[in-house]
Structure 1
Amino acid sequence: MAAIRALFEAAFSGLLGTAGVAEVPACTGQGCSSFAACVPDTRELIVGTSFGRDSGPIYAKSDSGTFCTGDWRRTVMGIGVAQFTCDDGRQGQAVYTWLDPDTGTATGTGRFNNGTLVRFWSGNDLARYFSSADPADLAVADCTPAELFMS
């Protein structure tokens, strides 16, 4: 588990880098969560930070350098919804419909305006979630946890 956590932290620091820190604020306390997203068709990895307990801003950067921002909110029914825009022209929406109670990780799916599917995970301990999740649950993403951490 320590190895997966180290890979996760390396992936975040590698993708965000020195320049990314100014673009994607670090999650350094309560009221924020890390997230990872995977585009199964292209295996693009997007990592970032979301802020707020019931709503707030989202900041992310892809492994190809695309920067995305948006907002998320929790609905009355407890479902999370997000809207985002990327600097390459893509826009999208996502719905978080499941929460892993052990790690506090929310999972969901969304689509870009070009119809491309994207899968999301958001929480305070994604490394533990990916190291303990059922492989069958992760297989639907077409991106393995190692790819999420090492892209």
Structure 2
Amino acid sequence: MEVKELGHVVLYVRDIERSARFYRDVLGWRQILPAAGGDATLGKVPVAAFNAPSGRTHHELLLIEVGEDAAGMPEGRRIGMYHFGLKIGTSDDELREALAQLKAAGTPVLGMSDHTATHSLYIADPDGNEIELYVDVPGVDWENPAAIGAPVKPLRL
């Protein structure tokens, strides 16, 4: 077997409407389910599906509502997903624009990092799922392991 690409991410969320607004209105994903004015369910559970404006695939993100009484993520070190990354461009100007949009939307930035190969902002969705918004640094040699494993430095935009 050979994995060809990461296809999609599925997240449990407390409130489908709140989370759909965040992914659609703050991050700019294209909502494909439910269709305008409709409902979408998986069994009897509300869902929302999204893809990037590029339309690369049928869906890249699926949200499944589990309700307000669902257990939250434990603090500190734990097993499971740390974050998922979303490439938003190839320049620091695009990252600065994203930072301004996040601030305007009232979305806190949890951190900013220079990974040599990428420059990244870290945020969380309304349920605490961490998201890395990044740009690739032009001219990085992806075949050089030192570029990927370089020490993380603070990012100054």
- Greater Rg over alpha carbons, structure: 2
If each structure's helix is expressed as a fraction of its own residues, which one has the higher value?
1
Q: Which has the higher contact order (CA 8 A, sep 6+)?
A: 1
- Fold shared per TM-score above 0.5: no
- Give the TM-score, by structure 2 length: 0.28
Q: Select the structure that is richer in strand.
A: 1
